[in-house]
Structure formats: structure tokens, C-alpha cells
């Protein structure tokens, strides 16, 4: 049975991989891009099943216009994929105010507004699924990626709450958390102006790994996209989906460490309760 999809950032990375795979299997896709003509080749090949829309993730009016147009044209959209975003690299002190604002506006506020724009349509149609492309960086943290992590941890917290709010309407979520994956994500990274004082710190070490290409990208983009699609096809998928061995291992390690830490705080935590309750 064919499905209809809305995918932001459909012209590159995992968004493009998903769009190509879905169209090839016969599904209909409303794909967005910031650039005119970015999906021209696919438009020519899939005239009947690909709707291309322009969307700027930092412009709420643009988000709402694209989402409204997609639902109006396709009628029902089974899965909305919030995929567009980018990474900001630099120690917190190195980042400019403008870079911080842009990262949060795109990866956090933009994704929040995209989800908010889709919810009324999904309520009206009786349900649907929203897939948020997050990252292993939504549950772990590397030095030099503080604002990127802030955006990913933030959107995951937002979804944790919203999924409880809209479950009665038949709307559910999948948070996809890929590890380092061989896409053009690295090429799209925005770098802060480096400060020499951080050269011999963990932030400087990560910076050099990125600059030299030594940061290992174990994830395969096509396989990652296929895993997201197959999970979104399931009747009742888990909320979070770790993708790639690196993500699985790093998230498992981080969760185990946090669990161990809180277990050691039992007496202190309970001592903070009111004694009369």
C-alpha cells in the first residue's frame, strides 16, 4: 500500500536519500528545499508523485505555507519528516551571537514550528506520524558541538512532551538518531573562528579531526534512510531509533553512565522531600 510523505530538506543528505527511495517504491512525496531547481531531476522523472515546495526553516510563514500547500495538494499525508538542519562547530566561547541565533532558529525553533504546522492537519485527518531526524547528538555530547547539541537535545525534549499531548488524536512520533554518517553534512558545517587558547583542549582535538577528515563516518546514508523508512512503516515503532553501530554504542554508554549516576543519588534525592508528605 502506497503512502504519502512530507520531507523537509529533501534536496540533500538523508532527506534526499529518503525521497529517492520512497519515489522508487511508488509513494508520493512533498519535498522541500531552500533552493529553486534543487530537485529538478527527480521532478522530471516523477512528475505524478513528487511535489516540490520551497521552505525556509527560519521563516515561520514559509513553513506554514509549505505545509498547508502539501496537505491541500496531497489530501492526506501519512508521514511528516522533519529533516532539514545543519551543524555549528566551535567551542562555546568561540561562537558568535549571530551563529548561535541561527543554529537555534534552524534546528530547534524551525523544527518546532514545522511540527506545530503539521499537527492541525493530522488531527483533522484522524492521525499520522511525524519523524524527527535528530542525531546521536540528541543524547550524547562532543566538545565543539555545544550549540548543535543544544538544538538536538531541545527538539527531543519538545517531542517527548508533544507526543503525550497528541497521542489521543492518533498522532505519534519517531526520533531518528543517526551516528556519524557519510552524507554531505560535513560540507555543510559552519565553523566558528577558532581561538588559539583552545588548540590543546578537547575542543581543539575535535576541530582537527574534522579538518583532516579523520573523524570516522561509519554510517551509510542509503542504509540509514532505508532503516528510517522501514521503522516509519511499522504499526507501532519505538519513540527513539538509534542508527549505526557508533550511535548504538555511544548512546548505550551515555545512558548507562547517567543511570549509574542517579542510582548513587538515592539518599540525597529522597532527603530533599518535605517530611510531612
- Residue 210 sits in a domain whose CATH number is 3.40.50.720
Number of domains in the chain: 1
- Residue 64 resides in a domain: yes
- Residue 276 resides in a domain: no
Task: Reduce the secondary structure of the chain to three states and give it as a string.
Answer: CCCEEEECCCCCHHHHHHHHHHHHCCCEEEEEECCCCCCHHHHHHCCCCEEEEECCCCCHHHHHHHHHHHHHHHCCCCEEEECCCCCEECCCCCCCHHHHHHHHHHHHHHHHHHHHHHHHHHHHHCCEEEEEECCHHHCCCCCCCHHHHHHHHHHHHHHHHHHHHHHHHCEEEEEEEECCECCCCCCCCEECCCCHHHCCCHHHHHHHHHHHCCCCCCECHHHHHHHHHHHHHCCCCCCEEEECHHHHHHHHHHHHHHHHHHHCCHHHHHHCCCCCC
- Residue 256 resides in a domain: no
Per-residue pLDDT tens, the chain, 277 aa: give them: 899 999 999 999 999 999 999 999 999 999 999 999 999 999 999 999 999 999 999 999 999 999 999 999 999 999 999 998 889 999 999 999 999 999 999 999 999 999 999 999 999 999 999 999 999 999 999 999 999 999 999 999 999 999 999 999 999 999 999 988 777 667 778 999 999 999 999 999 999 988 887 777 788 999 999 999 999 999 999 999 999 999 999 999 999 999 999 999 999 999 999 999 8
Which are the catalytic amino acids?
Answer: 148
Which range of residues forms the domain containing residue 234? 4-246
Amino acid at each position: 500500500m502506497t503512502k504519502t510523505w512530507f520531507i523537509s530538506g529533501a534536496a540533500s543528505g538523508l532527506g534526499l536519500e529518503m525521497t529517492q527511495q520512497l519515489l522508487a517504491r511508488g509513494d508520493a512525496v512533498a519535498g522541500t528545499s531552500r533552493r529553486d531547481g534543487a530537485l529538478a531531476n527527480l521532478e522530471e522523472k516523477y512528475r505524478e508523485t513528487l511535489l516540490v515546495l520551497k521552505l525556509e526553516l527560519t521563516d515561520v510563514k514559509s513553513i506554514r505555507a509549505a505545509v498547508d500547500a502539501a496537505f491541500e495538494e496531497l489530501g492526506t499525508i501519512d508521514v511528516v519528516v522533519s529533516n532539514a538542519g545543519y551543524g555549528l562547530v566551535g567551542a562555546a566561547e568561540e561562537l558568535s551571537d549571530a551563529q548561535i541565533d541561527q543554529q537555534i532558529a534552524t534546528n530547534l525553533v524551525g523544527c518546532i514550528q514545522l511540527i506545530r504546522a503539521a499537527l492541525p492537519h493530522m488531527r483533522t485527518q484522524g492521525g499520522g506520524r511525524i519523524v524527527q531526524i535528530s542525531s546521536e547528538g540528541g543524547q550524547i555530547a562532543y566538545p565543539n558541538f555545544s550549540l548543535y547539541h543544544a538544538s538536538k537535545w531541545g527538539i527531543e525534549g519538545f517531542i517527548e512532551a508533544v507526543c503525550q499531548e497528541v497521542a489521543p488524536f492518533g498522532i505519534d512520533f519517531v526520533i531518528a538518531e543517526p551516528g556519524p554518517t557519510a552524507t554531505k553534512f560535513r560540507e555543510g558545517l559552519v565553523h566558528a573562528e577558532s581561538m588559539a587558547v583552545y588548540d590543546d583542549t578537547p575542543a581543539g582535538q575535535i576541530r582537527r579531526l574534522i579538518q583532516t577528515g579523520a573523524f570516522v563516518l561509519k554510517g551509510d546514508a542509503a542504509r540509514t534512510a532505508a532503516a528510517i523508512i522501514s521503522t516509519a512503516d511499522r504499526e507501532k515503532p519505538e519513540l527513539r531509533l538509534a542508527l549505526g553501530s557508533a550511535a548504538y554504542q555511544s548512546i548505550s554508554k551515555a545512558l548507562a553512565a547517567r543511570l549509574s549516576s542517579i542510582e548513587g543519588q538515592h539518599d540525597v534525592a529522597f532527603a530533599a522531600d518535605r517530611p510531612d508528605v
